[in-house]
Amino acid sequence: MILVGLGANLDSPRYGPPRRTLEAALARLEAGGIRVAACSRFYRSAPVAASDQPWYVNAVAEVETQLAPGPLLDALLAVEVEFGRVRSVANAARVLDLDLLAYGDAVTAEDTVPALPHPRLAGRAFVLYPLAEIAPDWRHPATGAPVSSLIRALPADQVARPLTGD
């Protein structure tokens, strides 16, 4: 199972609010030959570092592709750029964020590109809740922990709620 995290907290000049941007990004992946096999509902979550940034809209998609992990990550980053993503400082607000969360059972070192599974996946409500929705039996490739256990271990301040409306 190949998992991609999607997030946005800034309006896109081309696509509008974050939810619409994520919908357009999913369509763009499909157009680029990355099949979206399943996608969670959209979730609303606070920025990771406490700030006055707008809240994020997030989702997790299961994708199918012939691309190996490195080229897949390159394709995701290219879509971010196409959608107007400008990388500046860590945890900055963004028009689109696409993360390669997991690639089957692959486990690589944290300093490898791409690091698999995503090094911060297990501690992020905005990843785990949507992931549990589309793959309730998923287990962390490195630890074997089920997604349900990872959710129970989240700090109380980690919140992700299904989004209603835009």
Task: Point out the catalytic residue in the list 97, 120, 152, 161.
Answer: 97
What is the C-alpha to C-alpha distance for residues 138 and 135, in angstroms, rounded to an integer?
5
Report the number of distinct structural domains present in the chain: 1
Q: Is 139 exposed, middle or buried (0-12, 13-18, 19+ CB in 10 A)?
A: middle
Task: Point out the catalytic residue in the list 28, 44, 94, 124.
Answer: 94
74 is a catalytic site residue = no
99 is a catalytic site residue = yes
CATH classification of the domain holding 147: 3.30.70.560
28 is a catalytic site residue = no
Strands (E), the chain: 2-8, 35-39, 43-45, 56-64, 97-103, 160-162
- Show the domain range for 52: 2-162
Rounded (5°) CA angle 22-154-41? 25
11 is a catalytic site residue = no
Task: Point out the catalytic residue in the list 35, 41, 85, 139.
Answer: 85
**Predicted pLDDT of residue 164:** 85
Task: Point out the catalytic residue in the list 28, 44, 99, 124.
Answer: 99
Q: Which residues contact 157 (CB under 8 A, 6 or more apart)?
A: none
**Predicted pLDDT of residue 145:** 97
Predicted confidence pLDDT, tens digits, the chain (166 residues):
999 999 999 999 999 999 999 999 999 999 999 999 999 999 999 887 667 889 999 999 999 999 999 999 999 999 999 998 777 666 677 899 999 999 999 999 888 889 999 999 999 999 999 999 999 999 999 999 999 999 999 998 888 999 986 5
What mean pLDDT is reported for the chain? 93
State the pTM of this model: 0.94
Q: Which residues contact 76 (CB under 8 A, 6 or more apart)?
A: 4, 98, 99, 100
**Predicted pLDDT of residue 89:** 66
